[in-house]
A and B are shown apart, each in its own frame.
Chain A
Amino acid sequence: MSMNLTLRIWRQANPGTPGRLVEYAAQGISPDMSFLEMLDVVNEQLIRKGEEPVAFDSDCREGICGTCGCMVNGVAHGPDAAATVCQLHMRRFKNGDTITIEPWRAAAFPVVKDLVVDRSALDRIVRAGGYISMNVGAAPDANAMPVAKGLADEAFDAAACIQCGACVAACKNASAALFTAAKISHLNLLPQGQAERGRRAVAMVDQMDVEGFGACSNEGECEAVCPKEISISNIARMNREYLRARLVAR
């Protein structure tokens, strides 16, 4: 039942040192293990030998926190659709397989160490306008403003983004358009978000450029790897919101 695999893992000591792929044997891997549990096993072996384990990020290990993420054989989060790499299970692989594991690659996501990258640029995009301005205590009764179910559901679909950065990693331009568009859609669709609709779109899109993310050329790779299946139609909405705001401003 158990499998033996060859792993080629990106090792990089810090942002300033060049990295390289290093080969490791992963032996006695159970098909019931998750992909990250398989990496745990490899790391345990390294630690016992007194070698530095592979640095990788994870926390919830159930696909909701967006902490994990790496390229598995060139695909962000690996071969399963609508899943993060922590949700990937080893039963997806065969005995004898070679698996290449690399960090997200994007100018705006510098490698910190091994598979860990710095995604703080995404927080700064939110900071620029990804919120509804409302102080604690000022809210009206929650049912004072009905929201049509269809609209609420559409906003929710966009709000499901877990900010993992897979969309950026999968894009050949390393664009953060899907991420930014999802946030703009979530807030701009809702009645509560109307007052700042234009300002929000402009500020977030501009910040995306400041951070060094590439432009969107509609390749659709982002949507294909998104673990939450966020639709690329959000990007069209973002573009409309941005143009509309610019026109109004003029």
Chain B
Amino acid sequence: MQLDGKVPGGPIESRWERHKFESKLVNPANRRKLTVLVIGTGLAGASASAALGELGYNVLTFCIHDSPRRAHSIAAQGGINAAKNYRNDGDSVYRLFYDTVKGGDYRARESNVYRLAQVSADIIDQCVAQGVPFAREYGGLLDNRSFGGAQVSRTFYARGQTGQQLLIGAYQSMMRQVDAGTVKLFPQREMLDVVMVEGQARGVIMRNLVTGELEKWAGDAVLLATGGYGTVYYLSTNAVNSNVTAAWRAHKRGALFANPCFTQIHPTCIPVSGDHQSKLTLMSESLRNDGRVWVPKDARDPRPPQQIPEPERDYYLERRYPSFGNLVPRDVASRAAKLVCDEGLGVGDTGLAVYLDFADSIGRLGKDVIKQRYGNLFDMYQKITDDNPYQVPMRIFPAVHYTMGGLWVDYNLMSTIPGLHVLGEANFSDHGANRLGASALMQGLADGYFVIPNTLSHYLAGTSLPKVTAEHDAFAEAASNAQGQITRLLTVRGQKTPRELHRQLGRLVWDYVGMSRTAEGLRTALTEIPRLREEFWHNVSVPGEANNMNKNLEYAGRVADYLEFAELLARDALEREESCGGHFREEFQTPDNEAQRDDLQFAHAAAWEFTGVGQAPVRHVEPLQFDYVKPSQRSYK
């Protein structure tokens, strides 16, 4: 299969303008006759629904939550980037573009990243006009901070609730369209299949999570904005209902899945406390602006941290990366923490933690300033751990946080299935092998508010779309397929709960496809995952019925999909014989343990084609070209 990214030509600065100009438009009077099915109401789905509703399309929007405003985007704390250069510190569209391509370790499409940087400023304008209460200075203008390894202050933030405030903005705009009648909202619906008619995505099968009924919805295009697959690791910072189900089912219908092995481990999370743990809590990495990371130099040091004198502490990030220090990118900081813990220097009961210490900043700035900056995070930490971080250093450890991989899309955000568009974290996106802090919110809103309204009109105006209703046979086939799986889940009547099996899967992928990977480990994963899948289908217990609310049934379906998806994750990691960004293969590292890319062989996106459960998938390649940002070894020394 030839993967065509549909990237427009010409100088990078004018590609998006030109592309918009060359796009076909839908006559305003015709828009209401076109039905767009939007799956997901996170930043990507809610912003797309609002924007398309404003344009006058007939939008049907679905989500698994009881209210669209609860999507996982709500959890983002830190902020959103934009090339506004309000600080006069040398930022520009070009610099944001450059930082993002480099931060992604040269595995993203340049044109997409440039467009993202271009529309970033419009996002902030849009959100402020909607009433998003970004942090302000005393003069009443917007405040910024530097975030996630950036040397300019381009991050806009809303206390520790940036995601929540941005999502409320998008949700409210969408609700305005619901009021106007252009958007119809269907919460508590789970997408179980994409319906294909003559090679085009023309509908979806949704399970009503309250009544259990399978619903058939027909439309002219489908937009997937269903988020990332971080919960394949069981423990992650993602909300517990996050899933790969919608994306995976689309994959099984022919949408290629790109770069699943690009997963992000966030360095500053609260460590695991026991087997009961159901999720991990992120502590915003803005904490690294004022906190110093260290471990004792002596692995057996029994003293509480405050009593360990300076010379006996190893501030290993400052030591190894003198110019970036505690602010190195996430992948670098996470791996460094793992290295010191592997050497036995980790702290806490489990030895799987490092200190994040604010004593110096409190000494320098005073407790009040620290409280003002991080008060809510400190409170959250104390609530969970029962420790007071104003007095003792926090204990932190890396946790799975974000997934750069996702369904392959072209410049128009269309997958390899005509009509099926993918937005937000669900696509393989603009972050390459590693996402920089504060850029997922930017991408989700860029996709929804600014990109899709343009590219979708081009598709709708330029494609022959014969009338299709939910009476078409393809809907009955897809629904009976979905029903088949549900019935199968209910009839196993085994001994293990979906959670136990999910936990087991999580262990496997964390151990072998986690922060650092080897060919041997990946091969182990590739034999163990199918075995666990086999066990699942013989031994899962799903009591109750399908004809009403059955959360355990929903969960079991998601775990079943993860058991298929995890195999692809491991296979992609095995075939990518290089280290880049979040994908670290122990065989490929520099003498001082940094990731060693192989641009000759792997400067491409790997996009996988489904051939059957347990069958070897086919690997396709989209070569990546770097005409503007020349690949170099990333160095944060």
Are these two chains actual partners, yes or no? yes
Residues of A in contact with B (beta carbons under 8 Å apart): 13-14, 30, 32-34, 36-38, 40-41, 43-44, 46-48, 50-53, 55, 57-67, 80, 83, 87, 89, 91, 112-113, 116, 118-120, 122-123, 126-143, 145-149, 152, 155-156, 159-160, 162-163, 186-187, 190, 192-193
Q: A48: which B residues are within 8 A, CB to CB?
A: 495-497, 541
Of the candidates A67, A83, A190, the one having the most CB atoms from chain B within 10 angstroms of its own CB is A67
Q: B86: which A residues are within 8 A, CB to CB?
A: 143
A54 to B51, CA, bound (A): 39
A67/B66 in contact, CB under 8 A: yes
Q: B493: which A residues are within 8 A, CB to CB?
A: 50
Is B130 at the interface (CB under 8 A from chain A)? yes
A64/B137 in contact, CB under 8 A: no
**Chain A proximity of B548: nearest CB distance (Å):** 6
B67/A122 in contact, CB under 8 A: yes
A149/B140 in contact, CB under 8 A: yes
Interface residues of B in 245-291 (CB under 8 A from A): 273-274, 276-279, 281
Do A132 and B172 form a contact, CB below 8 Å, given A47-B497, A186-B133?
yes
A40 to B240, CA, bound (A): 12
22 contacts between A and B (CB under 8 A): A43-B497, A47-B543, A48-B495, A48-B496, A61-B279, A65-B70, A66-B67, A66-B69, A66-B70, A67-B65, A89-B386, A126-B171, A127-B175, A131-B130, A136-B51, A141-B125, A142-B127, A143-B142, A147-B136, A149-B140, A160-B159, A163-B67
Q: A160: which B residues are within 8 A, CB to CB?
A: 159, 161
B138/A136 in contact, CB under 8 A: no
A44/B125 in contact, CB under 8 A: no
Is B122 at the interface (CB under 8 A from chain A)? yes
Q: Which A residue's beta carbon lies closest to that of B549? A: A113
A118 to B210, CA, bound (A): 10
**Chain A proximity of B627: nearest CB distance (Å):** 30
B51/A32 in contact, CB under 8 A: no
Do A59 and B187 form a contact, CB below 8 Å, given A65-B239, A123-B67?
no
Q: Which 10 A-B pairs have the closest CB atoms?
A: A146-B140, A139-B129, A131-B172, A139-B125, A142-B128, A156-B133, A59-B239, A131-B176, A47-B497, A52-B544
**Chain A proximity of B384: nearest CB distance (Å):** 7
A149/B70 in contact, CB under 8 A: no
Contact-size category for B: 35 or more
A141 to B124, CA, bound (A): 8
Of the candidates A36, A60, A134, the one having the most CB atoms from chain B within 10 angstroms of its own CB is A60
* Neighbour of B449 across the interface among A33, A136, A156, CB < 8 A: A136
B164/A192 in contact, CB under 8 A: no
B136/A89 in contact, CB under 8 A: no
A62 to B128, CA, bound (A): 26
Q: Which B residue's beta carbon lies closest to that of A44? A: B497
Q: B179: which A residues are within 8 A, CB to CB?
A: 127-129
Is B441 at the interface (CB under 8 A from chain A)? no
B142/A40 in contact, CB under 8 A: no
Is B475 at the interface (CB under 8 A from chain A)? no
Q: A43: which B residues are within 8 A, CB to CB?
A: 497, 552
A61/B239 in contact, CB under 8 A: yes
Interface residues of B in 416-470 (CB under 8 A from A): 449-450, 453
* Neighbour of B541 across the interface among A50, A148, A186, CB < 8 A: A50
A89 to B159, CA, bound (A): 25
A156 to B157, CA, bound (A): 12
15 other contacts beyond A60-B239, A126-B175, with CB at 8 A cut-off?
A32-B273, A55-B550, A58-B240, A61-B240, A65-B75, A80-B383, A131-B175, A134-B126, A134-B130, A137-B122, A142-B84, A147-B140, A156-B133, A159-B168, A163-B70
B276/A41 in contact, CB under 8 A: yes
Q: Which B residue's beta carbon lies closest to that of A141? A: B125
B383/A132 in contact, CB under 8 A: no
Is B380 at the interface (CB under 8 A from chain A)? yes
**Chain B proximity of A158: nearest CB distance (Å):** 9
Number of A-B pairs, beta carbon distance below 8 Å: 215
Is B551 at the interface (CB under 8 A from chain A)? yes
Q: B453: which A residues are within 8 A, CB to CB?
A: 136
Q: Which B residue's beta carbon lies closest to that of A117? A: B66
Q: A129: which B residues are within 8 A, CB to CB?
A: 179
Is B474 at the interface (CB under 8 A from chain A)? no
Q: B544: which A residues are within 8 A, CB to CB?
A: 52
B141/A146 in contact, CB under 8 A: yes
Is B241 at the interface (CB under 8 A from chain A)? yes
Q: Which B residue's beta carbon lies closest to that of A32? A: B273
**Chain A proximity of B164: nearest CB distance (Å):** 6
Q: B164: which A residues are within 8 A, CB to CB?
A: 64, 162
A113 to B541, CA, bound (A): 20
Q: A52: which B residues are within 8 A, CB to CB?
A: 543-544, 550, 552
A39 to B54, CA, bound (A): 43
A127/B70 in contact, CB under 8 A: no
A62/B552 in contact, CB under 8 A: no
Q: B68: which A residues are within 8 A, CB to CB?
A: 123
Q: Which A residue's beta carbon lies closest to that of B158? A: A156
A186/B543 in contact, CB under 8 A: no
A46 to B50, CA, bound (A): 42
Interface residues of B in 345-374 (CB under 8 A from A): none
B551/A55 in contact, CB under 8 A: yes
Of the candidates B136, B187, B453, B542, the one having the most CB atoms from chain A within 10 angstroms of its own CB is B136
A124 to B250, CA, bound (A): 32
A130 to B174, CA, bound (A): 11
Do A163 and B69 form a contact, CB below 8 Å, given A44-B499, A47-B541, A112-B210?
yes
B159/A156 in contact, CB under 8 A: yes
A60 to B167, CA, bound (A): 14
A64/B543 in contact, CB under 8 A: no
Q: B548: which A residues are within 8 A, CB to CB?
A: 13-14, 113
B384/A89 in contact, CB under 8 A: yes
Q: A152: which B residues are within 8 A, CB to CB?
A: 133, 135-136, 140
A118/B66 in contact, CB under 8 A: yes
B178/A127 in contact, CB under 8 A: yes
Q: B137: which A residues are within 8 A, CB to CB?
A: 149
Q: B281: which A residues are within 8 A, CB to CB?
A: 62
Is B598 at the interface (CB under 8 A from chain A)? no
Of the candidates A64, A113, A152, the one having the most CB atoms from chain B within 10 angstroms of its own CB is A64
A112 to B449, CA, bound (A): 34
B383/A89 in contact, CB under 8 A: yes
Q: B241: which A residues are within 8 A, CB to CB?
A: 59
**Chain A proximity of B228: nearest CB distance (Å):** 14
Is B3 at the interface (CB under 8 A from chain A)? no
A149 to B372, CA, bound (A): 14
Convert B277-315 into 0s and 1s, putting 1 for each residue whose CB lies closer than 8 angstroms to a CB of A. 111010000000000000000000000000000000000
Q: A123: which B residues are within 8 A, CB to CB?
A: 67-69, 175, 185, 187
Do A40 and B278 form a contact, CB below 8 Å, given A48-B541, A113-B548, A130-B175?
yes
**Chain B proximity of A118: nearest CB distance (Å):** 7
Q: A41: which B residues are within 8 A, CB to CB?
A: 276
Q: B66: which A residues are within 8 A, CB to CB?
A: 57, 67, 118-120
**Chain A proximity of B505: nearest CB distance (Å):** 16
Q: Which B residue's beta carbon lies closest to that of A82? A: B379
Is B500 at the interface (CB under 8 A from chain A)? yes
Of the candidates A55, A59, A143, the one having the most CB atoms from chain B within 10 angstroms of its own CB is A59
* Neighbour of B176 across the interface among A38, A133, A149, CB < 8 A: A133
Is B153 at the interface (CB under 8 A from chain A)? no
**Chain A proximity of B441: nearest CB distance (Å):** 14
Q: A62: which B residues are within 8 A, CB to CB?
A: 75, 279, 281, 380
**Chain A proximity of B61: nearest CB distance (Å):** 12
A60/B50 in contact, CB under 8 A: no
Q: B67: which A residues are within 8 A, CB to CB?
A: 66, 119-120, 122-123, 163
A59/B72 in contact, CB under 8 A: yes
A105 to B275, CA, bound (A): 33
Is B131 at the interface (CB under 8 A from chain A)? yes
A186/B140 in contact, CB under 8 A: no
* Neighbour of A32 across the interface among B50, B135, B159, B274, CB < 8 A: B274
A37/B549 in contact, CB under 8 A: no
A156 to B158, CA, bound (A): 8
